[in-house]
Amino acid sequence: MAQSHYETLKALLSKDGSSFTKSRKVVFDLLLDQGAQSMQVLSKRAEGQVDRATIYRTIELFERLGIVHRVNVGWKYKIELSDIFLGHHHHFYCTGCGTTYSLSTNSMLETMIDSAVAKEGFSPRSHQLEISGLCPNCQS
Amino acid sequence: MAQSHYETLKALLSKDGSSFTKSRKVVFDLLLDQGAQSMQVLSKRAEGQVDRATIYRTIELFERLGIVHRVNVGWKYKIELSDIFLGHHHHFYCTGCGTTYSLSTNSMLETMIDSAVAKEGFSPRSHQLEISGLCPNCQS
DNA sequence: AGCTTTTTGCAAATTTGTCGCAAAAGGCTA
DNA sequence: TAGCCTTTTGCGACAAATTTGCAAAAAGCT
């Protein structure tokens, strides 16, 4: 059975010699609770609990440890928990309504992406695919 | 035979009722001259020739006309000429040395990406794939 | 508890991105 | 090309986003 998300988080932090603090828990919970979020939304939601500067520092740490990653959605970036927490997936950004959809994984596609670059001598570690266009609702 | 890049640019501008000005030529040339560039780099390189505000406005226009697009490479976004000028391609970001490589297109992969989302009811217009890992030089 | 290291909040400084407006450049017609 | 109207640009002021220094608070470790 897989570790709980908190256990995974704690393990990653402690492996780095960093501690599991209240602020870090708050930020992690906010990310668990909703999908990709902008820095401003995170700051707003954490208001009164965690200072803005601490959020930036926390995200920087989380990113370095592979706990979160940035996703480019439409115009500005957002922060999202990484694959170990959410499972691997991609994003579809609807230019009609601005919504971002998570796309279920297609293992054939994943394999193909990695092997395409491996064939050219690169050693892929991760990838990010963002597709944009119109969602079913906006096609009419 | 394909139009020259300048002809294409002029055509896109004029179709929009916009003119081919000195500033716009400078920005376009900077983009032709090198790959994806951050706003700061563009501003720095255009220093003395084009004002920062004008660069932002120019990029906004170019983006609206499909002349450039933003790519998320590593950390912050960069501006790159779009497919009509550079051909469709993807990026490989080496976490070892920070270099960004352009990957040659794999039409099978492209088709697969689009059909994967079409199957779920989305109507894809464009997509962006960024793969990261180690480049041949950094693997040892 | 006492001591050391890490983390946090706060305020200030930077950087990045936008906006309004008057001057300059571009387009068009006579 | 002069005259007139529209678009574009530079400049300075703003606003928003991100970073940094530093002293106090929290966390870790005997």
pLDDT tens sequence across A21-69: 999 999 999 999 998 999 999 999 999 999 999 999 999 999 999 999 9
Residue ranges in A1-140 assigned as alpha helix (H): 5-15, 22-33, 39-46, 52-64, 83-86, 107-118
Round the average pLDDT of chain A to a whole number and report it.
91
Instruction: For B108-124, write each residue's pLDDT tens digit.
Output: 888 888 888 898 899 99
- Rounded to whole angstroms, how far apart are CA atoms B129 and B89? 9
What's the confidence (pLDDT) of residue A108? Answer: 81
Nucleotide nearest to A10 in CA–C1' terms: D27
Percent of chain A with pLDDT over 90: 62
Residues 37-96 of A with CB under 7 A from strand D: 39-40, 52-53, 56-57, 60, 77
Top residue of B73, B122, B135, B140 to mutate, by most chain A CBs within 10 Å, is B122
Nearest CA in chain A to B76: A77
Q: Which residue of B has its CA nearest to A126?
A: B132
In chain A, what residues touch B75 (CB-CB under 8 Å)? 70
Strand C closer than 7 Å to the CB of B70? no
Residue A73: is its pLDDT beyond 80? no
Judged on CB neighbours under 10 Å (0-12, 13-18, 19+), A25 is middle
Determine the straight-line distance between the first and last CA of chain B, rounded to whole angstroms: 44
Nucleotide nearest B52, CA–C1', reads: D10
What confidence tier does A123 reach under pLDDT thresholds 50, 70, 90? very high
Segments of chain B scoring below 70 in pLDDT: 1-2, 73-75
Listed as ranges, the nucleotides of chain D within 7 A of a protein C-beta are 7-13, 16-21, 26-28
Residue A33 confidence (pLDDT): 95
* Rounded Cα–Cα distance for residues B103 and A84 (Å): 27
92-111 in A: which are within 8 Å (CB) of B? Answer: 92, 94-95, 101, 103-104, 106, 108-109
How high is the pLDDT of residue B1? 52
* pLDDT at res. A1: 56
Mean pLDDT of A64-76: 85
What tokens appear for A13 in the block? Answer: 């932090």
Contacts of B8 (CB under 8 A, 6+ apart): B84, B85
| C-alpha span between A72 and B78 (Å, rounded) | 11
Q: What is the pLDDT of residue B74?
A: 62
Residues A71, A36 contacting (CB under 8 angstroms): yes
Please tell me whether the overall predicted TM-score, pTM, comes out greater than 0.75 for this model.
yes
Amino acid A50 CA to nucleotide C9 C1' distance, rounded Å: 9
The C-alpha of B124 sits at a distance from chain A's nearest C-alpha, in angstroms, of 4
